[in-house]
C-alpha cells in the first residue's frame, strides 16, 4: 500500500489525490455531456456541485461518527485515560471524526443539492440526470484511493492484494480479496450503463433512481466480502448494507413515482431549462422538449407550451432593452 507520497517534502495522502482526479474526470464528463446543449442554467450547473461537495463532506464525517459511537462510549467509560492529555484527546477525536463513509457523503450531497434546488426554485430531478453518471466515475477513483490507503479491504483470500497489519506491535501480511478494485470496476460499469441510458427516452430523475438501485445492489453484495468490521454489524448486516436497503427503496420509489404514481410527463426524456433553444418548448413536467419530440406531448399541453413560448418571444421583441 502507498498511503502517502512526498511532494516537495510534504506527505500528501494518495486517497486525496485519487479523489481529486475523480473530481476532475467527473467534471470533464459533465462538460462533455453539456457541450452541445444550451438548455440549462449555467449558474445551477456551478452552484449545485458546490453545495453537493459541502454536503458530501459533512455527511461522510457524520455517518462515520455514527459508526464509531461505540468507540466514543468506551472512551468516556475510561475518560481518565482517554482524555488524560491533549494528545490522547486528539487521538480519540481523530478516531471518531477522522474517517469518512461514502454513503454518508452521497446522502449529504443529495440533500444539499436538493436544498439548493428548492431555494433556487428549480427542479432537482431535471439536473440530477446530468450529474448521475459522474457519481460512479468519481467513486471508482475513490475506491482506487482505498487501495493505496489500505482501507475497505476484502476478506482473506488465496489470491488478491497483500495487506500489512499490525497487532500488539507485531506486523504481518495477509492476502486479501481486492474488493476496492472490484467495486471500482462495478462503478465504471454503472457509469457506462447510465451514459447509454441517457440516449434513451427516460423521464426526468430516472437516471438517479437507476443509479441508486444499481449501486445499492453492488454495495449490499460486496459488504459480505469485506474484511474490516469498522462500520459495525447490526442484526447480521453492516451499516452500509442497511443504508443500501434504504437507498434501494428510495431509487425504486423514484422510478415508480415517474412511471406509475405520477405519470404526467409521458413522452420521455427532457433536459434542464435555462435558455430554451429555438424551436423548443418548455412544459412544467417535461422540461425543454425538442421539436422532434413534441408530438409525444398531449395536444392541450403542447398548445399551452407553444402559446407561452410565443408570448415570451413577443414580449422580448417589444422590449427595447432585449
For the chain, helix (H) and strand (E) counts, in that order, are 12, 8
pLDDT at 292 > cutoff 70: no
Q: At what angle do helices 102-119 and 239-256 cross, to 10 degrees?
A: 40
State the pLDDT at residue 265.
46
Q: What's the grid cell of residue 257? A: 413515482
CB burial string 164-191: b at 16+ within 10 A, e below: eeeeeeeeeeeebbbbbbbbbebbbebb
State the pLDDT at residue 269.
47
Average pLDDT over residues 13-29: 90
Of 226, 243, 182, 251, nearest in space to 59 by CA? 243
pLDDT at 95 > cutoff 80: no
pLDDT at 180 > cutoff 80: yes
SS (H, E, C) 267-304: CCCCECCCCCCCCCEEECCCEEECHHHHHHCCHHHHHH
- pLDDT-based confidence at 42, cuts 50/70/90? confident
State the pLDDT at residue 160.
86
State the pLDDT at residue 33.
80
- pLDDT-based confidence at 314, cuts 50/70/90? low
Strands 156-167 and 170-176: antiparallel
State the pLDDT at residue 257.
80
pLDDT tens profile 235-288: 888 888 999 999 999 999 888 887 776 544 444 444 544 556 666 777 765 566
φ, ψ dihedrals at 161, nearest 5°: -110, 140
Contact indicator for 39, 281 with CB cutoff of 8 Å: no
Query: How far is 280 from 177, CA to CA, in rounded Å?
Result: 51
pLDDT tens profile 98-156: 677 888 899 999 999 999 988 888 878 878 888 999 999 999 999 999 888 888 888 88
- pLDDT-based confidence at 189, cuts 50/70/90? very high
State the pLDDT at residue 312.
67
Query: How far is 322 from 127, CA to CA, in rounded Å?
Result: 28
> Domain ranges in the chain?
4-41+122-278
pTM of the model: 0.76
- pLDDT-based confidence at 37, cuts 50/70/90? low
Query: How far is 53 from 58, CA to CA, in rounded Å?
Result: 9
Of 133, 107, 102, 112, nearest in space to 54 by CA? 112
Torsion of CA 246, 250, 252, 255, to 10 degrees: -170
Q: Which residue bears the cell 462510549?
A: 73
Average pLDDT over residues 301-311: 74
Query: How far is 230 from 32, CA to CA, in rounded Å?
Result: 38
Please indicate whether residue 302 or residue 44 has the higher confidence score (pLDDT).
44
State the pLDDT at residue 218.
96
Amino acid at each position: 500500500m502507498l498511503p502517502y507520497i512526498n511532494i516537495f517534502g510534504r506527505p500528501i495522502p494518495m486517497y486525496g489525490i485519487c479523489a481529486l482526479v475523480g473530481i476532475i474526470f467527473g467534471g470533464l464528463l459533465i462538460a462533455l455531456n453539456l457541450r452541445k446543449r444550451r438548455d440549462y442554467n449555467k449558474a445551477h450547473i456551478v452552484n449545485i456541485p458546490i453545495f453537493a461537495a459541502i454536503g458530501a463532506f459533512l455527511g461522510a464525517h457524520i455517518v462515520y461518527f455514527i459508526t464509531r459511537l461505540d468507540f466514543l462510549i468506551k472512551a468516556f467509560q475510561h475518560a481518565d485515560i482517554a482524555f488524560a492529555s491533549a494528545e490522547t484527546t486528539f487521538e480519540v477525536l481523530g478516531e471518531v471524526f477522522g474517517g469518512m463513509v461514502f454513503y454518508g457523503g452521497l446522502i449529504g450531497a443529495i440533500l444539499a443539492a436538493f436544498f439548493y434546488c428548492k431555494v433556487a426554485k428549480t427542479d432537482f430531478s431535471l439536473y440530477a440526470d446530468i450529474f448521475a453518471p459522474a457519481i460512479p466515475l468519481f467513486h471508482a477513483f475513490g475506491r482506487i484511493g482505498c487501495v493505496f490507503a489500505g482501507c475497505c479491504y476484502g476478506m482473506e483470500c488465496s489470491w488478491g492484494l497483500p495487506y500489512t497489519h499490525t497487532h500488539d506491535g507485531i506486523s504481518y501480511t495477509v492476502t486479501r480479496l481486492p474488493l476496492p478494485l472490484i467495486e471500482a470496476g462495478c462503478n465504471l460499469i454503472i457509469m457506462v450503463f447510465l451514459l447509454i441510458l441517457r440516449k434513451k427516452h427516460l423521464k426526468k430523475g430516472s437516471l438517479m433512481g437507476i443509479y441508486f438501485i444499481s449501486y445499492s445492489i453492488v454495495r449490499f453484495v460486496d459488504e459480505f466480502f469485506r474484511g474490516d468490521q469498522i462500520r459495525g454489524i447490526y442484526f447480521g448486516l453492516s451499516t452500509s448494507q442497511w443504508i443500501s436497503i434504504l437507498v434501494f427503496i428510495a431509487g425504486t420509489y423514484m422510478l415508480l413515482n415517474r412511471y406509475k404514481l405520477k405519470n404526467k410527463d409521458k413522452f420521455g426524456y427532457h433536459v434542464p431549462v435555462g435558455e430554451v433553444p429555438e424551436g423548443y418548448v418548455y412544459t412544467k413536467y417535461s422540461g425543454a422538449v425538442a421539436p422532434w419530440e413534441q408530438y409525444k406531448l398531449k395536444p392541450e399541453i403542447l398548445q399551452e407550451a407553444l402559446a407561452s413560448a410565443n408570448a415570451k418571444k413577443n414580449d422580448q421583441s417589444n422590449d427595447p432593452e432585449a
